[in-house]
């Protein structure tokens, strides 16, 4: 619920509701995008009340090293402000803000907007037993190695990274065996204390969007993203994942909608009615960079 903002006074009460519609399942983000939208609506209300530039209000409220989250977890290695400042610089935010204001004064029916948004996403599962994985290595007499693991490769480059890790080790010990347990995950739901997540991944995106005030048609002119992925095992794979994640978020908030009949029949079935992003929805200019010098001591080879 906090996104990347320090909110010292927060009370969140949730309810489970039974409806007449088909239940949905988890997708990329696991409910975080919906909660982040709520936090950004709070920030918009604050900006409207105080009259300060939105980027100034947002930065003032970003988490810093040692801050306590609303789940009473002390934050370590907080890189959100580094991502924020780098994204402002990479996107030429302040000079483009002036250009956007000039454009809007000169055009009546088309307007442009420029916004910058942070994200903070906890890594690990709150259900402790889900934090497990396994791998099996076969070494053959000709020296070749077969690596098997329990992860699901669905286009995210998992196989590539597993091979990279095995290759980096240079050799495989014939007698090696071991296990690993994600450390210090001990969140107590009743007391609201402990470590809910092993670590956090941070990111900031800045987008310039143009909208037709008569038709509502809009297009993303440019997006700049800075993402904290620790020490990347494979920058090309990680940048591709950031690009894909951004487009899924763009689709979720601007295109995709589940529409039902009064009887609960889903109208938006298939790509003809359920509008997922296409090539034409990709920003005309999409720049992604990975935050430098941000090692993560809680994951393999300082990655995230």
Complete domains list, the chain, with CATH: 32-129+182-302 (3.30.365.10), 132-168 (no CATH)
The pLDDT of residue 120: 96
pLDDT over 70 (residue 295) = yes
Residue from 295, 156, 180 nearest 228 by CA: 295
Structure confidence by residue, pLDDT tens digits, 54-104: 999 999 999 999 999 988 999 999 999 999 999 999 999 999 999 999 999
Asked if 11 and 3 count as a contact pair (C-beta separation under 8 A), the reply is no
Structure confidence by residue, pLDDT tens digits, 92-146: 999 999 999 999 999 999 999 999 999 999 998 878 888 888 888 888 888 888 8
Find the helix packing angle between 235-254 and 32-50, rounded to 10°. Answer: 70
Give the contacts of 149 (CB within 8 A, at least 6 positions apart).
133, 134, 135, 136, 158, 162
pLDDT over 70 (residue 19) = yes
The pLDDT of residue 179: 63
Rg over alpha carbons for the chain, rounded to the nearest Å, is 22
> Among residues of the chain, what percentage have pLDDT more than 90?
60
The pLDDT of residue 270: 87
Q: How big is the chain, counted in residues?
A: 304
Q: How far apart are CA 228 and CA 83, in angstroms?
A: 7
Paired with 286 in beta bridges are 223
Q: Does the predicted model carry a pTM greater than 0.85? A: yes
Q: How far apart are CA 187 and CA 167, in angstroms?
A: 36
């Amino acid at each position: 619920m906090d996104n990347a903002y320090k909110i010292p006074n927060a009370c969140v009460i949730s309810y489970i509701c039974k409806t007449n519609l088909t239940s949905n399942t988890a997708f990329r983000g696991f409910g975080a995008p919906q909660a982040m939208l709520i936090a950004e609506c709070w920030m918009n209300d604050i900006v409207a009340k105080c009259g300060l530039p939105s980027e100034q209000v947002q930065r003032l409220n970003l988490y810093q090293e040692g801050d306590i989250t609303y789940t009473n977890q002390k934050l370590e290695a907080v890189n959100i402000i580094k991502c924020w400042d780098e994204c402002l610089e990479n996107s030429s935010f302040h000079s483009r803000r002036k250009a956007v204001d000039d454009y809007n004064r000169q055009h009546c029916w088309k307007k442009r907007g420029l916004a910058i948004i942070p994200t903070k996403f906890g890594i690990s599962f709150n259900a402790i037993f889900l934090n497990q994985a396994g791998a099996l290595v076969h070494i053959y007499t000709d020296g070749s190695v077969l690596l098997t693991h329990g992860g699901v490769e669905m286009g995210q480059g998992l196989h590539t990274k597993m091979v990279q890790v095995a290759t980096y080790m240079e050799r495989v010990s014939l007698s090696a065996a071991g296990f690993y347990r994600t450390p210090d995950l001990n969140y107590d739901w009743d007391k609201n204390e402990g470590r809910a997540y092993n670590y956090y991944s941070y990111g900031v995106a800045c987008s310039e969007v143009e909208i037709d005030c008569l038709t509502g048609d809009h297009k993303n002119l440019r997006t700049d993203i800075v993402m904290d992925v620790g020490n990347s095992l494979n920058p090309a794979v990680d940048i591709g994942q950031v690009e894909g994640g951004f487009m899924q978020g763009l689709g979720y908030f601007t295109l995709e909608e589940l529409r039902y009949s009064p009887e609960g029949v889903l109208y938006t079935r298939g790509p003809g009615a359920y509008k997922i992003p296409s090539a034409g929805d990709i920003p005309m200019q999409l720049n992604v960079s990975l935050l430098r010098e941000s090692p993560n001591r809680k994951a393999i080879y300082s990655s995230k």
